[in-house]
Amino acid sequence: MSILLTKQTRAIVQGITGRIGAIQARWMLECGTNIVGGVTPGGGGKEVHGVPVYDSVAEAVKKQQANASVLFVPAAYARDAVLEAIDAGIGLIVCVPEHIPVHDTITIRRSAQQKGAWLIGPNTPGVLTPGVGKMGIMPANLFKPGRIGLISRSGTLCYEVAGYINEGGYGQSTVIGIGGDMVRGSDVQNVLSEFDQDTETDMVVVVGEVGGVMEEQVAECLKHMHKPVITYIAGQTAPAGKKMGHAGAIIQGNEGTVECKQNALREAGALVATRIADIPELIGRAYK
Amino acid sequence: MSILLTKQTRAIVQGITGRIGAIQARWMLECGTNIVGGVTPGGGGKEVHGVPVYDSVAEAVKKQQANASVLFVPAAYARDAVLEAIDAGIGLIVCVPEHIPVHDTITIRRSAQQKGAWLIGPNTPGVLTPGVGKMGIMPANLFKPGRIGLISRSGTLCYEVAGYINEGGYGQSTVIGIGGDMVRGSDVQNVLSEFDQDTETDMVVVVGEVGGVMEEQVAECLKHMHKPVITYIAGQTAPAGKKMGHAGAIIQGNEGTVECKQNALREAGALVATRIADIPELIGRAYK
Amino acid sequence: MQLFECDGKRLLKEWGIAVPKGLLLTSADGLPDALSQLGGKAVLKIQVPTGKRGKAGGIKLISNVGEGNDFFKQWAGKSHGGYEVESVLAEEPLAISKEFYMSVVLNAREGNFFFIFSAEGGVDIEETSRQHPDKVLKVKLDPAACIKEFHFRNILLEHGYSGSLLLSLSNAAANLYKGFVAANALLAEINPLVMLEDGTVMAADAKIEIDDSAKFRLSSKNFLEVKADELEREAKDIGVTYIKLDEGNVAIIASGAGLSMNTMDLIYEAGMKPANFLETGGGITSELVRRSVHLVLKNESARAVIVNLYGGVNSLLEAAKGIVAGVQELKRPVPLVVKALGNQQEECFALLEEHNIPVIKSYRTEDAVAYIQRQLEVAK
Amino acid sequence: MQLFECDGKRLLKEWGIAVPKGLLLTSADGLPDALSQLGGKAVLKIQVPTGKRGKAGGIKLISNVGEGNDFFKQWAGKSHGGYEVESVLAEEPLAISKEFYMSVVLNAREGNFFFIFSAEGGVDIEETSRQHPDKVLKVKLDPAACIKEFHFRNILLEHGYSGSLLLSLSNAAANLYKGFVAANALLAEINPLVMLEDGTVMAADAKIEIDDSAKFRLSSKNFLEVKADELEREAKDIGVTYIKLDEGNVAIIASGAGLSMNTMDLIYEAGMKPANFLETGGGITSELVRRSVHLVLKNESARAVIVNLYGGVNSLLEAAKGIVAGVQELKRPVPLVVKALGNQQEECFALLEEHNIPVIKSYRTEDAVAYIQRQLEVAK
């Protein structure tokens, strides 16, 4: 078992006939993902890399029993595409695009909550379960099967962290890019709770950043966790008041600094890595 | 017992400080209605005929345990005033104003359904239970306590019918002006079903008009009724295609004619009065 | 209020639905300019808020100014469906490859909306619906749901559409629905919605009915309106509903639509004919009643008046004052009877009797009708 | 994007919230006209998208042109909070009897909104909130609920307001919320919201922040923007995020915000200082990378470049082509190291090595940092 993306996943790609959608569909197929269809309104009947294309998510659900969707659509259309997936009963929606208006994110987050769907993203590299597949843009060759759950706000940073984890002789159960925006489709607490219940996950590494409140939310929910949680937070030297690439990465006043976050996490019982290179050692310590 | 407006009713008047609201509040009080408050935003703290005025329905509910509201507000503000009453948990809302946009009626009807509130109107003379009180504009002196339920699309026509019922030696349990517009807050079937379950009602007189589908809805639900239903429909001589005063009273093509409606009702087992003057006789026949 | 085709299309365009290029003409003078703007040929369509214009010769393809002049001459001073023809819409001719029917309409029975679509356009949809119900798609739309374009895509997919036509149709449907709601429409019908030879989907006609009660929300729009006749204008000015009936001899002033219709029914039953039907509405003043008495007698055929009132919101004393004033000013005295019950009924009776105006003090409209019948027989 | 006060007030007015009469001036030339339109006196306020203008002398009441000229002279060519003062808002002076605080703001933690209100306006709300939490009303608004004016009326009623002030405040709150949602704002703050001596409630200031990602929905508005400096303009043109840092010696080109920050942290840790921070975003092309190499070296203090990429959406071969082209064109050669993993990494390595550009073939950013450190030490 793993979380969210499992052997039971029957995924579709919304926006599969677009340039990026088509390339990413190929890479997802190449690493074994069970892609059962693509959706492009008006594109029904086509095929992309042997995957049948449908005009709507509902049609893909009906004809292929799809239960998960990964989106590669322009930011301005993402809201309605996600609502379509939720409406069609899709249980896991991975929303890759960045620059989606925050009010749209709020709308789709609320709608997913109401229907009990997992919405990962927006602005996420996706979800990857080594050996099973990936929904999103993470390069599959950077990950190895293992028993460490990995949650990250940043895509590329999570690749880097995975490298260190692999080097330490460990691997990942599932890797979740929780999203780099101010508002996320799913709360980190819920993802942690899934890992906590997963029989194939021994502990969770959370990769955070300056700004926002995700790390504080991790700290708050640690008392409910049975498994160890290791954290690393990037941006210790980030200047205040500047938006550090991610819409969510901005320090305002004294809030959102790495120090604040590390203190909160330490107090709550997390193992705090101040350097990525320390993560394998902390994993080893947690196993003892 | 009676329906909707009973001895348990604690009514408020929305728009009580307006010219019509104030006069009607007095007349409602004069016939014994249990008016516990009025609502006029910005008018909190005033008194009208000894009735305390509140700034919001929620406040009136909190301070006076109000459970019913009758509205005298301009048509353009009626939607939000009804939504406020629904939101505050009011269970019976009598919406008197006419010329409310149909889309607004649809909104408030849907909202009332979702919250399980009775919405009577819009464009209704109101609800009157002889001996208990009235919420609306029906002249109380025209009605007598008795065991006949009375439902009417038209206000003034229902007064006329009540006159004949009284003359026949009968009286009314409760009188409901269901509303003269195309779309109504409550369906006639539900009102009939209330009368059917009311131990103080022996039968129901339904007063209809040309146009619309209310009479057909009555016909459809008769098989579920245990009590006799007597009907009269005005507008036998109405020309097709003209709106006969009520927004809902218009004959289109062959639909909505009195003949169509009478046939449907006869087939469903209703006692059909072709003249108002025949109603007392039909009541007598139903009692045998 | 039923919009004229040209205004309906203006709305459709605002809503994001393609319409043919067109110009509104009020005389033949604009023809040369219109023909040059529209590419040498034009379809002329008389503008009246009703249907069946084609069969009546109200739609014509012209290829020169002469043909256009003939069309204007043909329709000068004419009416169609009871409406005077005052303007003509000149449109670019369309190379149509397929016609559809699409509408959003109020479902009064359930308080929601219907989306109606058929692959057969340009036809009478009610007729098609009766004869071939399978050819008409009719889907209920929940007013509380947030309906998106993909909902229409799913509906039309199941109806067998795909590819770019699916996209064009679902886009038009989504825009039509959104516009329908925003404009507080009762009906928004495109019949036919056409696919041109180049694949474009376009509204070739527009029938949009706006809720009169919601006009205050659309005050910024400047819609063409049917010219009201003198009596209708006066009724509007007084603030009452006035309906002229065919050649009757009894005028009706009544409060409430149901009571008015009942009065009308009883007049017919007694072998007389109502001349008209004036419904006072809720806000009676003496001035409103005074003017109403004059208005109903402007129908030359009217020989008597029945005033049938209940005082709910209304004060009957106010009504009585108005009746007295109205009767005193009459140049052509006719029998008039008042039946009135409700608020201040005693004061009302007293005032009328003081001025020798007959009053029926019961709820029996029949008695008032019988009184008038006797008076008219006496007058013969 | 933080709007200037004048634009914020323009929005508030569109939303139905009263604002003082005002004119935007870009030079002292407009003063006579402004003074006459505003009734002889005016409040001048420098327009910069930041706060604390009052303390800095950026807000002044003037009663004649001379005083206005002095104000313009005082601010000519000056900055406040890092922003050059380019325009001045002249407003009618207000007879204020009471000040409030009102805002609607995004609650990122839960994905909903806060309505915040305080009877103490014109103050630092975060400070008040910390010291006197009871004086600040903070209510969550569910984005899925249809929030009406009566909701705000109930909230403010419970907070002790009544009568006409209750109406004015709840009306302003409802309009502020509706506008906030329609404009896709992150923050809509009125501080202070004032009650004038005649009872009118009016926005005396406006701080509105619009979501940059939602700008496409507001394209018709013409908002004042902060003049970008040359490098920021170029970054925008290339399509990358560029942040200048203080006087560092190592330029960073990285893909992804987290990796960029991590690279920055490691540079500091190694005792060097980053000169800047260029985040490529998801759509790398060779041209984007080529121009990025030039851009980061325009900071005169930059003595070396670290390129730190992962190829997820990106093709690393494209990136390598861009690096090669960029390096070949450099007029001021500096040490440059590439760390890159992911799609087409082998082709990327081959091309870079062919052109003698050093590559770190691991996930260890530390190794790239150590390499640059050695190079800079050698160069000393």
Task: Say whether pLDDT at C238 is over 90.
Answer: no
Residue A241: pLDDT over 80: no
C186, C213, C265 member nearest B236 (Cβ): C265
Are the Cβ atoms of D312 and A138 closer than 8 angstroms? yes
Cα–Cα distance for residue pair A287/A227, rounded to 1 Å? 10
Residue D331 burial by CB count (10 A; 0-12/13-18/19+): exposed, middle or buried?
A: exposed
Report whether pLDDT(B253) > 60.
no
Closest residue by Cα to residue A94 from A61, A145, A128, A64: A128
Question: pLDDT digits over C280-331, tens only?
Answer: 887 788 999 999 999 988 888 889 999 999 887 777 999 999 999 999 988 8
Q: What is the mean pLDDT of residues B125-143?
A: 94
Instruction: Report yes or no: A125 and A136 within 8 Å, Cβ to Cβ.
Output: yes
pLDDT at A32 over 90: yes
**pLDDT given at position B192:** 95
Are A and B touching by the rule of 3+ CB pairs within 8 Å? Answer: no
Name the band, by pLDDT with cuts 50, 70 and 90, for residue A250.
low
Same domain, D174 and D43: no
Tell me how far apart the alpha carbons of residues B72 and B22 are, in angstroms, rounded to a whole number: 9
Give alpha helix (H) positions in C220-315. Answer: 230-238, 257-269, 286-296
D36/chain B closest Cα distance in angstroms? 37
> CB A252: neighbour CB atoms within 10 A?
12
In DSSP terms, A92 is beta-bridged to A68, A118
Q: Note whether C162 contacts A87, CB cutoff 8 Å.
A: no
Average pLDDT, chain B: 92
* C203 shares its domain with C245: no
Which one, of B265, A254, B255, D144, lies nearest residue C145 by Cα? D144
B169-221 per-position pLDDT tens digit: 999 999 999 998 989 999 999 999 999 999 999 999 999 998 888 888 999 99
Domain count, chain D: 3
Judge if D363 and D234 occupy the same domain: yes
* Neighbouring residues of A234: CB distance < 8 A, sequence distance ≥ 6: A154, A157, A207, A208, A209, A210, A258, D258, D259, D261, D262, D265
CB neighbours of C2 closer than 8 A, spacing ≥ 6? C49, C50, C207, C208, C209
Confidence of residue A245 (pLDDT cuts 50, 70, 90): low
Domain match, D256 and D358 both: yes
Is residue D4 included in any domain, yes or no? no
Look at residue D273 in the predicted model and tell me its pLDDT. Answer: 92
pLDDT at C228: 72
Percentage of the residues of chain C whose pLDDT score is greater than 90: 64
Please check whether residue C175 lies inside any domain of the structure.
yes
Half-sphere exposure of B149 (CA within 13 A, CB side): 28
d(CA B5, CA B66): 13
How far apart CA D351 and CA D286 sit, in angstroms, is 13
Residues D140-153, mean pLDDT to the nearest whole number: 94
- Three-class SS state of A120: strand
Name the pLDDT band for A247 (thresholds 50, 70, 90).
Answer: low
Q: Which of D39, D70, D91 is at the close of a domain?
A: D91
Residue of A nearest to C164 (CA): A42
Shared domain check, C165 and C274? no
A215: tokens are 């790390």
The answer on D375 and D236 residing in a single domain is yes
Q: Give me the mean pLDDT over the B34-44 stretch.
A: 95
Q: For residues A239 and A56, which has the higher predicted lDDT (pLDDT)?
A: A56
Q: Which residue has the higher pLDDT, C2 or B242?
A: C2
Predicted confidence band at C124 (pLDDT cuts at 50, 70, 90)?
Answer: confident
Q: Helix, strand or coil for residue D182?
A: helix
As a whole number, mean pLDDT of residues D308-326 equals 88
Which of B145, B140, B218 is closest to B178 using CA atoms?
B218
Instruction: Provide the domain limits for residue C313.
Output: 230-379
Identify the pLDDT of residue A231: 95
Distance CA A74, CA D174 (A): 32
Cα–Cα distance, D367 to D372 (Å, whole number): 9
Contact between A103 and D366 using a beta-carbon 8 Å cutoff: no
Q: What is the mean pLDDT of residues C153-157?
A: 95
Q: Which of C242, C265, C339, C369 to mutate to test the interface with B (most CBs of B within 10 A)?
A: C265
Contact B245 C260 (CB under 8 A): yes
What lies within 8 Å, CB to CB, of D343 at 6+ separation is A27, A139, D311, D312, D314, D315, D316
Q: Among A28-32, C169-173, D93-97, D106-110, which stretch is predicted with the lowest mean pLDDT?
A: D106-110
- Say yes or no for a CB contact (<8 Å) between B87 and D166: no
- Confidence category of residue D331, pLDDT binned at 50, 70, 90: confident
Contact call for B248 and C108, based on CB within 8 A: yes
CA distance A126 to D372: 32
- Could you tell me the pLDDT band of residue A288, with boundaries at 50, 70 and 90? confident
D285 touches chain A (CB under 8 A): no
ipTM for the whole complex = 0.90
B235/C261 touch (CB, cutoff 8 Å), yes or no: yes
Is residue D351 a contact partner of residue D344, using CB atoms and an 8 Å limit? no
Q: Which CATH superfamily is domain B11-120 in?
A: NAD(P)-binding Rossmann-like Domain (3.40.50.720)
Is pLDDT of C268 > 80? yes
pLDDT of residue C125: 83
Tell me if residue B265 falls in helix, strand or coil.
helix
Same domain, D175 and D116: yes
In this prediction, residue C356 has a pLDDT band, given cuts at 50, 70 and 90, of: very high
pLDDT at residue D317 in the model: 92
Asked whether residue D349 carries a pLDDT value surpassing 70, the answer given is yes
3-class SS letters over C26-44: CCHHHHHHHHHHCCCCEEE
Whether A55 and C162 lie within 8 Å, measured CB to CB: yes
The reply to whether residue A154 touches residue D257, judged by beta carbons under 8 angstroms, is yes
Contact C348, C317 (CB under 8 A): yes
pLDDT in tens, C25-70: 999 999 999 999 999 999 999 998 887 888 888 999 999 999 999 9
Chain C residues near residue A56 by CB distance under 8 angstroms: 150, 153-154, 157
Which amino acid, residue D224? Answer: L
Could you report the per-residue pLDDT of A103-112, keeping only the tens digit for each?
Answer: 999 999 999 9
D282 touches chain A (CB under 8 A): yes
First to last CA, chain D: 43
Residue where a domain stops, chosen among C74, C91, C108? C91
Q: Over chain A, what is the mean pLDDT?
A: 92
CA C352 to chain B, closest CA, distance in angstroms equals 21
Interface check for C162 against chain A (CB to CB < 8 A): the answer is yes
State mean pLDDT over B251-280: 86
Asked whether residue D300 is assigned to any structural domain, the reply reads yes
Task: Check which CATH number belongs to the domain holding C31 and give it.
Answer: 3.30.1490.20
Cβ separation D157–B80 shorter than 8 A: no
The long-range contacts involving D74-77, CB below 8 angstroms and separated by at least 24 positions, are D75/D46
Q: Between these two residues, D198 and D330, which has the higher pLDDT value?
A: D198
Q: Is the pLDDT assigned to residue D333 strictly greater than 90?
A: no
Domain ranges in chain B?
A: 11-120, 143-287
Can you give the pLDDT at residue B64? 97
Minimum Cα–Cα distance from B54: chain D residue: D162
How many Å apart are CA D90 and CA D45, to the nearest integer?
6
Domain co-membership, D336 together with D294: yes
- Residue A159 to residue D282, Cβ atoms within 8 A: no
Place of tokens 């890479």: A27
Percentage of residues of chain D with pLDDT beyond 70: 99
Q: How far apart are CA C364 and CA B164, in angstroms?
A: 8
Query: CA D88 to CA D71: how far, in whole Å?
Result: 10
Instruction: List CB contacts of D124: < 8 A, sequence separation 6 or more.
Output: none
Which residue is it, tokens 């890399």? A49
C250-254/C276-279 β-pairing? parallel
Both tokens of B143, joined, read 């009605």
Region D313-324: mean pLDDT is 88
Q: Are C176 and C15 in contact (CB under 8 A)?
A: yes
Q: What is the pLDDT of residue B245?
A: 64
At B120 the pLDDT is 97
In a domain, C15, yes or no: no
**Residue C44 and residue A198: Cα distance in Å, rounded?**
72
Per-residue pLDDT band for A246 (boundaries 50, 70, 90) equals low
**CB pair distance less than 8 Å for D343 and A27:** yes
D347 and D255 inside one domain:
yes
Is D147 at the interface with chain B, CB within 8 A?
Answer: no
Q: Is residue D251 part of a domain?
A: yes
End-to-end alpha carbon distance in chain A = 23
Q: Which residues of A touch C149 (CB under 8 A)?
A: 80
8 A C-beta contact, residue A146 and residue A171: yes
Instruction: State the catalytic residues of A.
Output: 246
Q: Which two tokens stand for residue B74?
A: 């301009």
For tokens 């006579």, the residue is D32
Which tokens sit at D265? 């942290």
Handedness of CA C158, C160, C166, C169 (dihedral sign): negative
pLDDT in the model for residue C237 = 87
C14 inside domain: no
Query: What SS3 state is found at A16?
Result: coil
Q: Mark out the alpha helices in chain A (DSSP H runs).
A: 19-30, 57-64, 75-87, 102-115, 155-167, 188-197, 214-221, 258-268, 279-287
**Domain-located, residue C2:** no
Give B-chain residues touching D145 at CB under 8 angstroms. Answer: none
pLDDT confidence of residue B265 = 92
Give B-chain residues touching D163 at CB under 8 angstroms. 42, 44-45, 55
How far CA B10 is from CA of A17, B6, D288, in Å, comes to 62, 9, 72
- Classify domain B143-287 at the CATH superfamily level: Succinyl-CoA synthetase domains (3.40.50.261)
- C163 in reach of chain A (CB within 8 A): yes
> Which of B45, B56, B83 lies at the smallest CB-CB distance from D153?
B56
User: Quick one: pLDDT at residue D132?
Assistant: 87
The confidence band for D228, taking pLDDT boundaries of 50, 70 and 90, is: confident
> Could you say which of D91, D126, D151 is where a domain stops?
D91
> Residues B56-77: what's their mean pLDDT?
97
Q: Are residues C248 and C354 in the same domain?
A: yes
Best probe of the B interface among D149, D162, D168, D201, by most B CBs < 10 A, is D162
Confirm if B174 and B150 have CB atoms less than 8 A apart. yes
Mark whether C251 and C365 lie in a shared domain. yes
Q: Are D109 and A213 in contact (CB under 8 A)?
A: yes
CB neighbour burial string for A212-224, b if at least 16 within 10 angstroms, e if fewer: bbbbbebbebbee
Check residue C132 and give its pLDDT: 87
CB-count exposure of residue A154 (10 Å: 0-12, 13-18, 19+): buried
In CATH terms, are A11-120 and A143-287 the same topology?
yes
Structure tokens at D373: 């450190």
For the segment D9-18, the average pLDDT, to the nearest whole number, is 96
CA angle B226, B228, B230 (to 5 degrees): 145
Given C111, C212, C261, which is nearest B106 (Cβ)? C111
Q: How far from A144 is each of A73, A131, A158, A206, CA to CA, in Å? A: 29, 8, 13, 17
Q: How confident is residue C269, by pLDDT bands cut at 50, 70 and 90?
A: very high
The model's confidence at residue C229, banded by pLDDT at 50, 70 and 90, is: confident
d(CA A79, CA C58): 46
Strand boundaries in chain D, DSSP class E: 22-25, 42-46, 59-62, 79-80, 83-84, 88-91, 96-107, 112-118, 136-141, 185-196, 201-203, 207-210, 241-244, 250-254, 276-279, 304-311, 336-342, 359-360
Question: What is the average pLDDT value for chain C, to the nearest integer?
Answer: 91
Q: In the predicted model, is pLDDT for residue C13 greater than 80? A: yes
How confident is the model over A25-44, as a mean pLDDT?
95
Which CATH number fits the domain that encloses residue D352?
Answer: 3.40.50.261
Give the D window 191-230 contacts with A, CB below 8 Å.
Answer: 211-214, 216-217
Radius of gyration of chain B measured on its C-alpha atoms: 18
The number of residues in chain B equals 288
Residues A3, A190 contacting (CB under 8 angstroms): no
Q: Which of A43, A55, A84 sits opposite C157 (nearest CB)?
A: A55
pLDDT for residue B88 is more than 90: yes
Collect all residues of chain C within an 8 Å Cβ-Cβ radius of residue A87.
148, 150-151
pLDDT > 90? residue C218:
no
Residue A255 has a pLDDT of 67
D-contacting chains (≥3 CB pairs under 8 Å): A, B
pLDDT at A104: 97
Q: What Cα–Cα distance (Å) separates residue C99 from each residue in C93, C190, D190?
A: 15, 10, 54
Structure tokens at B87: 């939101």
pLDDT, tens digit (0-9, with 9 covering 90-100), for D246-260: 778 999 999 988 899
Tell me: do C209 and C344 sit in the same domain: no
